[in-house]
């Protein structure tokens, strides 16, 4: 006697297939790439002598993230700042650091137009580019002192800005580290529910411990 599959089961299967039918191989590869980067970072933080957790001894680190969402991967218009202008930012430990203002990125996110100031690190020989930002999740679900995005471009007119790659500075993990706070113009008046969540809140740590 043949087994009859209940209609409810068939409906569940169809819903699953339909919900996943919009995914393309490139999207799957994108998600897999980001997931692998997160696995590699956990491995580094858990084992490397350069990890901010190294002094803890044997520790397994598993950072927490928002689900990967390609709507937070946007195209940004680049406006280079040609003149040599600098900005002094406050650091998490009360000190200050100076950076070069390199460019302004303009982009649409959550049905709004936003901008971010890109900074060039003057303290290392490579002069790496990054942006430090805060948003309406800051101090709630994400680190209150802001998150970072590393950038790499020369004189491009447009770049991809992927907030799924937003990460916390080391001072969120270990208060012996000092990190620059976002400039006031880099507060985004929207929720950026992508990238890394606040480590202390997710792991119920007491600041300073």
pLDDT tens-place string over residues 76-131: 999 999 988 999 999 999 999 999 999 999 999 999 999 999 999 887 666 899 99
Question: Which helix H or strand E contains 147, and what residues bound it?
Answer: strand 147-151
d(CA 105, CA 82): 14
Q: What's the pLDDT score for residue 8? A: 39
Facing residues of 142 across strands? 138
Question: What's the chain's length in residues?
Answer: 209
Q: How confident is the model at residue 208 (pLDDT cuts 50, 70, 90)?
A: very low
What the block records as the tokens of 57 is 């001894």
Q: What is the pLDDT of residues 145-173, one digit of tens each?
A: 999 999 999 889 999 999 999 999 999 99
Angstrom distances, CA of residue 181 to CA of 2, 67, 126, 204: 66, 25, 21, 23
Q: Supply the pLDDT for residue 154.
A: 86
- Write the burial class of residue 202 (CB in 10 Å: 0-12 exposed, 13-18 middle, 19+ buried): middle
């Amino acid at each position: 006697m043949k087994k009859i599959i209940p209609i409810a089961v068939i409906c569940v299967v169809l819903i699953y297939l339909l919900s996943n039918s919009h995914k393309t191989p490139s999207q799957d590869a994108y998600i897999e790439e980001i997931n692998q980067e997160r696995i590699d970072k956990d491995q580094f933080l858990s084992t490397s002598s350069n990890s901010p957790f190294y002094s803890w001894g044997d520790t397994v680190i598993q950072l927490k993230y928002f689900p990967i969402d390609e709507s937070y991967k946007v195209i940004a218009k680049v406006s280079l700042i040609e003149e040599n202008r600098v900005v002094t930012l406050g650091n998490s430990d009360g000190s200050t650091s100076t950076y070069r203002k390199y460019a302004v990125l303009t982009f649409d996110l959550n049905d709004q137009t936003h901008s971010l100031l890109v900074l060039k690190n003057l303290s290392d020989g490579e002069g790496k580019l990054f942006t430090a930002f805060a948003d309406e999740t800051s101090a709630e679900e994400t680190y209150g002192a802001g998150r970072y995005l590393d950038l790499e471009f020369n004189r491009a007119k447009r770049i991809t800005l992927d907030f799924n790659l937003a990460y916390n500075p080391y001072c969120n993990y270990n208060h012996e580290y000092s990190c620059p706070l976002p400039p006031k113009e880099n507060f985004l008046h929207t929720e950026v529910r992508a990238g890394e969540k606040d480590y202390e809140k997710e792991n119920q740590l007491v600041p300073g411990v």
